């Protein structure tokens, strides 16, 4: 069960916070999109996503060899409100605006096939 302590502890890491805020803004994202936007290697992103999944903050979906992540729609209302308020408050701040711009500028961004 997600508690305020566990949510804030989990999101205290900058990589996890940046990934969550991208998912909040964009919806479902492939690991390759997160590695591109956050300029971080895949093993590091995957490790952080595993922590978010273990806490129940995100859900994953496999499509062939690719894994997509999204915010858990069953998050408690208070947790979703915290994420929404944070995303709205920092939307134009560094590094969050740059993350979104990098994602938008990603060449070969996944559509039906990821990372082709």
Instruction: Summarize the confidence of residues 33-58 as an average pLDDT.
Output: 97
What pLDDT was estimated at residue 111?
A: 62
What pLDDT was estimated at residue 116?
A: 43
Instruction: Summarize the confidence of residues 24-52 as an average pLDDT.
Output: 96
Q: Is the confidence at residue 114, as pLDDT, over 80?
A: no
Q: Is the confidence at residue 61, as pLDDT, over 60?
A: yes
Q: Which domains does the chain have, with CATH numbers?
A: 4-102 (1.10.10.10)
For the full predicted model, state whether its pTM sits above 0.85.
yes
Q: Model confidence over 95-110: pLDDT tens digits?
A: 999 999 999 999 988 7
| Whole-angstrom Cα Rg for the chain | 13
Concatenating the DSSP letter of every residue in 56-79 gives TSEEEEEETTEEEEEE-TTS-HHH
User: What residues form DSSP beta bridges with 108?
Assistant: none
User: What residues form DSSP beta bridges with 101?
Assistant: none
Q: Model confidence over 71-83: pLDDT tens digits?
A: 999 999 999 999 9
């Amino acid at each position: 069960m997600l508690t305020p302590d566990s949510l804030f502890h989990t999101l205290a890491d900058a990589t996890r916070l940046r990934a969550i805020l991208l998912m909040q803004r964009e919806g479902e994202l492939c690991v390759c999109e997160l590695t591109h936007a956050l300029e971080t290697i895949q093993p590091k992103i995957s490790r952080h996503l595993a922590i978010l999944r273990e806490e129940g903050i995100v859900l994953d979906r496999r499509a062939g060899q690719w894994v997509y992540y999204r915010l858990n729609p069953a998050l408690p209302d208070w947790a979703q409100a915290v994420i929404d308020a944070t995303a709205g408050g920092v939307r134009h701040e560094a590094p969050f605006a740059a993350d979104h711009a990098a994602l938008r500028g990603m060449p070969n961004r996944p559509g039906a096939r990821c990372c082709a």
